[in-house]
Amino acid sequence: MSWNPMILGSYAFERDPDGCTIPKKARFTSMVRTYGGAVFFSWGLFIEGVEIEMSWKLMSETMFNALQTLLEADTEIVWNRPTGTDYYVELQALEGSYVETSLLDAPYRQDVKLRMVITSEVE
């Protein structure tokens, strides 16, 4: 069985995330308190605006740097999932601890989290 990597912008992941939010429509609502009670607003279910978080227990420094470059580009990119719908996304944050150990041949990042928001589906 062959492996199709997840692609974010122009970068093909060397390793899929250990965890990832499932992209699905979310209900967007708001409630405002008034003098006489409260008013509830609902704009329905949308995929646009849904936040996605991916996580890795361990990630190579090369992969972390590639994702950091995409974050710093500060532009909308395509998130290509090997199974399912592709989305346009904006990257929000990339965090992880630097780890250097004699057991690994190169520095790594530990407990990495990548947060992004879906802006639309790729048609």
Write the pLDDT tens digit of every residue in 21-47: 999 999 999 999 999 999 999 999 999
| This prediction's pTM | 0.86
* Residues 87/120, Cβ–Cβ less than 8 Å: yes
For residues 32 and 40, what is the distance between their CA atoms, to the nearest angstrom? 7
* Domains (range + CATH), the chain: 7-121 (2.40.30)
